[in-house]
Structure 1
Amino acid sequence: MSPGAQQSDGPAAPPLRKDAERNRERIIAAARSVFARDGLSASMASVAREAGVGIATMFRRFPTKEELVDAVFSDRMDAYADAVTLALEDPDPWHGFVGYIETACAMQAADNGFADVLTMTFPTAKVLEQRRNEAYQAMLRLIDRAKATGRLREDFDPSDLVLIHMANAGVVNATGDAAPDAWRRVVALMIQSLEAPARGPLPASPGREPLYKAMLRVGQGATTPPPGKSS
């Protein structure tokens, strides 16, 4: 390479790095807006349009939708995990348990994308899944504490929290801005059904493993475009 070429290449590199970082930030901001409005079914192309970048730029920054989901929702998952920690610090375990459910469901209602995230799993989204697993371990302690008070029904299973999030996400997505507070009534009904003494026995829990498979299947459906269509 000639000295002239070295001289012209040197100054050009830093602006390219800055441009790349700006594009990344624009894409994340756009994805937050698009996913919050349309959920995770929104396409990568729609995010690129919102960000004002080409689809090639989009895929250079985020080769897969799971990587974009990881970047967009890591802070939301941090807040979700913090809600569990706060619930554990409540001197009244039942109050802490109820407060956690209300907070998590409110987070779903405020963001259609996050409503979907809590009902799916994304194995390659390492940061997101690590925080989810940390929150799950804390929730196990929260459930045990609430049961120890005698306020939470004994047959409540940790997998029931996943069902609550799935039910809430369905209500949020179905009612939208036509009845934006409908989820509050549904959550209140669910909470009342959890309090001891139980009004009757429950059907068997599906268990964590089958629900994980369901969350994985739904997550794959949200991040993989249908045949013949681009993401």
Structure 2
Amino acid sequence: MTSPGRPLRRDAERNRQLLLDAASELFAERGLGVTLNDIAHHAGVGVGTAYRRFPNKEAVIDALFEQRLQAVAAVAHEALEDPDAWRGLVTFLERTLHMQFGDRGLTEIMNNPALGRQRVSDARDRIAPLIEALVDRAKQQGTVRADLDQTDLIFLQVALSAILDSTRAIAPDLYRRYLAILLDGIRPGGAPSPLPVRPLSAFQTHRAMTRNRPDVANA
């Protein structure tokens, strides 16, 4: 086992990343019930190698969650460096939503109530101050409504994540339409933005809303 302060050898780090990538894929496909043995087989590494990198599946989940927090924090810091506060805010929302689109395994972790309390607290403590700073800058520049709160952005992301996940297989870019509508809603005024994606038909909407219900999905 590598000591906490010592960097992993190149092959050890490669195996660790293979395991994390495999775990993310399996969590997305089969949920959190997969075992560390399953993850090792999917990654193409030996079970012993997996247990040298991670003592159990929970350690894999923690490592994935930490990666996501670091990535979101990095996006927020880059957005705060943009002198245009509105552009920085929009960039943050667009990039973090795109990250969620490409990472269904992490979505499974984030939305699992049995495993989420401590991780949600960690995310709140590390990410919320950055989002608050993005909102405060936009308020100071007069580019968002004065009553906008940083928690509003969190709930907007939750709503857009649900749209993204429901329509991923039917219209993967559809969430961008609703992002544009929501962005117009947090601006203080002006003409509405052109919507980048057409709406779904009634039939497509039905398919999206019932895709996980075997009793009606094929109706």
Q: Does the pair score TM above 0.5?
A: yes
Residue 44 of structure 1, aligned match among 34, 59, 64: 34
Alpha-carbon separation, structure 1, partners of 2:60 and 2:126: 21
Match of 1:70 in 2: 62
**Residue 71 and residue 195 in structure 1: after superposition, are their counterparts in 2 closer, same or farther (change >3 A)?**
same
Per the normalisation by structure 2, the TM-score is 0.64
5+ long unaligned stretches in structure 1: 1-18, 199-231
RMSD of aligned alpha carbons: 3.5
Alpha-carbon separation, structure 1, partners of 2:87 and 2:17: 39
Alpha-carbon separation, structure 1, partners of 2:134 and 2:12: 43
Match of 2:150 in 1: 158
Deviation string, structure 1 residues 136-161 (Cα, Å, up to 9, x no partner):
21221111110111111112121112
**Residue 150 and residue 117 in structure 1: after superposition, are their counterparts in 2 closer, same or farther (change >3 A)?**
farther
* Amino acid corresponding to residue 38 of structure 1 in structure 2: E
5+ long unaligned stretches in structure 2: 1-10, 191-219
**Residue 144 and residue 109 in structure 1: after superposition, are their counterparts in 2 closer, same or farther (change >3 A)?**
same
Match of 1:222 in 2: none
**Which structure has the bigger radius of gyration?**
1
Per the normalisation by structure 1, the TM-score is 0.61
Deviation string, structure 1 residues 30-71 (Cα, Å, up to 9, x no partner):
113224x438x3422353552467989867865665422221
Please say if residues 119 and 162 of structure 1, whose CA atoms lie closer than 8 Å, have aligned partners that are also in contact. Answer: no
Please say if residues 24 and 106 of structure 2, whose CA atoms lie closer than 8 Å, have aligned partners that are also in contact. Answer: no
Residue 87 of structure 2, aligned match among 72, 89, 95: 95
Q: Return the offset for 1:191.
A: 1.0
- Report how many residues are paired: 177
Relative contact order, higher structure (CA 8 A, sep 6+)? 1
Alpha-carbon separation, structure 1, partners of 2:17 and 2:56: 16
1:204-219 equivalences in 2 (<5 Å): none
Higher helix share: 1
Give me the identity figure in percent: 35
